[in-house]
Structure 1
Amino acid sequence: MDAETNLLVSLRLMYGFNPSPTAQTPHPQAPNLRSWSDVLGVIGTKSEPDVSDRDKVLIHEFISCLIDSSSGLPAPSDDLNATSDQPLATSFALDTVERISEDLYVFKLPPSPSCKWVIGVDRPTTVLYICRLVASAPNTHTVLTIAYHLLEHHIPFHTLLLQASSEPEQLNLPYADNANRFNKHQFTTADFNSAMLECRALLGRPQGRAAILRGGIVGRIAREFGSKESGLQGPSIEVTVHHSGYFVPSKHDGYFYWDDDLTGEEIACLCGTYCLYTGRGEQTTTVSWFPPPDVWDKQGYGWPGWTETNEEFFQQWIADIRKGNAKPLSRQNWWRKVRSIKNTRSMLKNNRERAKAYVELNIHAM
């Protein structure tokens, strides 16, 4: 896939940008984005794509309007608009998505002979991403090909197995440090290697596939020190035998949708988290080699799919650790470290809100 196609495909899947061949090229009026490089920065693209001048102008206008919530998106290029050339509602059968609960949507995708599970997602942006992906290649995708694509792009999803069981017990261990150091401890690469050895050990257990499926920064850590193929194997014995993990009641009495899950404590392990004793009584500080996932998402690095900016940050951070130029950071310092530009945060916030509104209007509860 060349750079031009890659950018246009990404913009369509993540934001619904679908440039109309008949759309008039607007006059550049985007005070929040002064240049093409500003546009690329907002969407997390580092390399210069070979995009036509016309498409650059259309992309510039679309992203600028997505940043400014008071501006409506250009109808011809917005697939959520019923008047666009290719509205999503006519290119994908939205009734093949079920809203199982407030935060779970299940897809009725063509089955694969190698898996008995179905795909479920928590986020409306991911719902629309999958709808667009399926619509982009009609009669091509199966549940397995969609799952593989999501894993490749570090997009969170569930591999749900419908099972009969009594009311399960919810796993609910909070995000917490799992190693202790004194406040004056000088962290080295040996500490990092030790923390990542713990990470590898966790990834070798059933929770490892839950980490892969988590997407975002947790999924990327899991991919660095584990294998993505485990994500395609379906719920583990922890689910099928012990009924332990993620679960949501289905519309069938006594049946639940199940998948492997991570506790907050296990997420903290994957992020390489420590409790630092300050020397002032029982006062402590929590630091980690990688950012807590909620900080990563909320501060503007949570694009709907993994971007070049995400990958550059991840690779550079590990390189800095290996060189001894980086150490675990507190939540507050991570908040500052991964804080993106205001335009990116505004764009992502508005994209989440419009996705939620569209999904709530068009996909109904079971």
Structure 2
Amino acid sequence: MKPQLPLADRFTGLGYRCMGYKPTPIDYGVYEMLRQRFFSSPRGRAARFAGGVVGRLAKLDLASLDLNHDVFTTGIRLWDGQSAAAYWADALTDQEIDLICGVYEVATGANDDDPQTTKVSWWPKPHVFLHSGMNTGWWSPDCERWYQKRLTAIKAGTAALHTQTEWKGVIRFFQKSRQVAVANESLAAQFLNSIL
């Protein structure tokens, strides 16, 4: 059984909002404060090494890169199953990712008296970024331009929150760069295999 984090250390996104919720720059400021608090905690280190949008957000706020001793309860163990040594890497929980990406649960109505909700966020979650055209293996100048444009719209109060499905469409326009990165990786692997 996986050990549970103490209740005080759990982060569950930004909470529930009523139907028709429209965020404001003040809401974003509250989100930034909560995100910064997380990044200042011992668990914040894991975000810096996550890459993508999560890593970029962590770059803004991360105070410490010191070793996190929670790695043995919340991290990923890398072990070949045979040797005596195993390696551990920090990994973020789903709740931590929800907080970092600014996820809200918003009411969408009710079906047969059963409330329905959807999750929307300020930023795309890692699985969406990973499979998008923006993911070229590094935080490129195009990624930074997109990030700065999005941040400007958020601060101006003109940015909308998106579901993860919507985020796929929002960052799809980088698909050509993703195809180039995949082709580059394949060619590099072929070259390395030919000389080894």
Partner of residue 316, structure 1 = 149
Structure with bigger helix share is: 2
Distance 1:334 1:244 in 2: 27
1:216 and 2:17 are equivalent in the alignment: no
1:225 and 2:56 are equivalent in the alignment: no
Distance 2:22 2:176 in 1: 37
C-alpha distance 170-309 of structure 1, shift in aligned 2 (>3 A): farther
1:288 and 2:146 are equivalent in the alignment: no
Paired letter, 1:313:
W
User: Where in structure 2 are the equivalents of 1:93-172 lying within 5 Å?
Assistant: 169=2
Paired letter, 2:139:
W
User: Where in structure 2 are the equivalents of 1:1-366 lying within 5 Å?
Assistant: 169=2, 177-227=13-63, 230-231=64-65, 233=66, 235-239=67-71, 243-249=73-79, 251-253=82-84, 255-280=85-110, 281-355=114-188, 361=193
Instruction: Answer yes or no: is the 8 Å Cα contact 1:300–1:348 preserved in 2.
Output: no
Kindly indicate whether structure 1 or structure 2 has the higher relative contact order, using CA contacts under 8 Å at least 6 residues apart.
2
Distance 1:353 1:182 in 2: 47
What secondary structure, in the 3-state scheme, does the structure 2 residue paired with 1:335 have? Answer: helix
Instruction: String of CA shifts for 1:116-140, please: whole Å, max 9, x gaps.
Output: xxxxxxxxxxxxxxxxxxxxxxxxx
Paired letter, 2:181:
L
Distance 1:339 1:320 in 2: 19
Deviation, 1:347, is: 1.3
C-alpha distance 326-236 of structure 1, shift in aligned 2 (>3 A): same
What secondary structure, in the 3-state scheme, does the structure 2 residue paired with 1:320 have? Answer: helix
Distance 1:349 1:179 in 2: 37
Instruction: String of CA shifts for 1:96-115, please: whole Å, max 9, x gaps.
Output: xxxxxxxxxxxxxxxxxxxx
Instruction: String of CA shifts for 1:266-292, please: whole Å, max 9, x gaps.
Output: 111100001111122332111000111
Distance 2:77 2:34 in 1: 26
Distance 2:13 2:125 in 1: 11
Q: Which entry has the higher C-alpha Rg, 1 or 2?
A: 1
Instruction: Answer yes or no: is the 8 Å Cα contact 2:76–2:91 preserved in 1.
Output: yes
Instruction: Answer yes or no: is the 8 Å Cα contact 1:188–1:324 preserved in 2.
Output: yes
Instruction: Answer yes or no: is the 8 Å Cα contact 1:188–1:327 preserved in 2.
Output: no
Structure 1: gaps of 5 or more residues? 1-167
Deviation, 1:180, is: 0.8
Distance 1:279 1:236 in 2: 42
What secondary structure, in the 3-state scheme, does the structure 1 residue paired with 2:109 have? Answer: coil
C-alpha distance 205-337 of structure 1, shift in aligned 2 (>3 A): same
What TM-score do you get using the length of structure 1 for normalisation?
0.46
How many residue pairs get aligned? The number is 184
What TM-score do you get using the length of structure 2 for normalisation?
0.81
Counting aligned pairs with the same residue, the percent is 27
Deviation, 1:205, is: 1.4
Which range is displaced more, 205-214 or 259-268?
Answer: 259-268
C-alpha distance 180-201 of structure 1, shift in aligned 2 (>3 A): same
C-alpha distance 326-294 of structure 1, shift in aligned 2 (>3 A): same
Instruction: Answer yes or no: is the 8 Å Cα contact 1:207–1:261 preserved in 2.
Output: no
Structure 2: gaps of 5 or more residues? 5-11
Paired letter, 2:94:
G
